[in-house]
Amino acid sequence: MSERWRLVLATLLLAAVVHLGVVLAVPYVVMGRILDVAIAEAGGVNQAVAAPIQDAGERTVIRPSPDILYTACAYDVSRQPLRVTAPLPDSYASLALFAGNTNVTYVVNDREVGDEIDITLVAPGAEATAPEGATVIETATDRGLVLIRFLIEDESRLAELDAVRREATCEPQGRPEP
């Protein structure tokens, strides 16, 4: 093979590697940015934060809904389980878990659970570390996002809804593994 062809081939192969690397990295980079924001706003991992109502001034996550109150916590279950609780209003509410690559790995809404959501997140394979009686949800990745949505169905009851959603908590369980 001539030298020219060898260089062309090397370029193409390297380009393919770069292409794959970029495409595979995108979801992790996007999620990483969001987790950084959630951690900064909450003051740490495994802590719930009530996001401000979304309006034209909010430019953190693309296409937020102005009709939803969001509560989030960046989870890290690598060292201990995380219990997530949220009392529910009488309007639509849902909880979703997002893995480190943005995939939705679990969703539950108010019609499926009743008065409150109470789940305990564990890392893959770490089911046994959860407290007895807990509703255990295995995450897909050690780090990710819990996002709870509370729909503003009645604007006149916004303050009431806001008070309910601020009662959502994320609490690490047990003692952290070293």
Residues of the shown chain interacting with another protein in the complex, contacts defined by CB under 8 A? 3, 7, 10-24, 26-27, 30-31, 34, 54-59, 61-67, 92, 94, 96, 98, 101-105, 107, 109, 111, 145, 147, 151-155
Nearest-approach distance from CB 110 to another protein, in angstroms: 10
Nearest-approach distance from CB 174 to another protein, in angstroms: 29
Closer CB to another protein, 158 or 163, in the complex: 158
- The Cα–Cα gap between 123 and 127 comes to 7
Of the candidates 171, 47, 168, 72, the residue with the CA atom closest to the CA atom of residue 120: 171
Nearest-approach distance from CB 128 to another protein, in angstroms: 26
Closer CB to another protein, 123 or 147, in the complex: 147
Closer CB to another protein, 23 or 128, in the complex: 23
Contacts of 120 (CB under 8 A, 6+ apart): 81, 82, 83, 84, 130, 131, 134, 135, 136, 137, 173
Contacts of 73 (CB under 8 A, 6+ apart): 38, 42, 45, 46, 47, 48, 49, 82, 84, 145, 146, 170
Closer CB to another protein, 46 or 54, in the complex: 54
∠ CA 146-149-150, rounded to 5°: 145
Nearest-approach distance from CB 17 to another protein, in angstroms: 7
Closer CB to another protein, 108 or 134, in the complex: 108
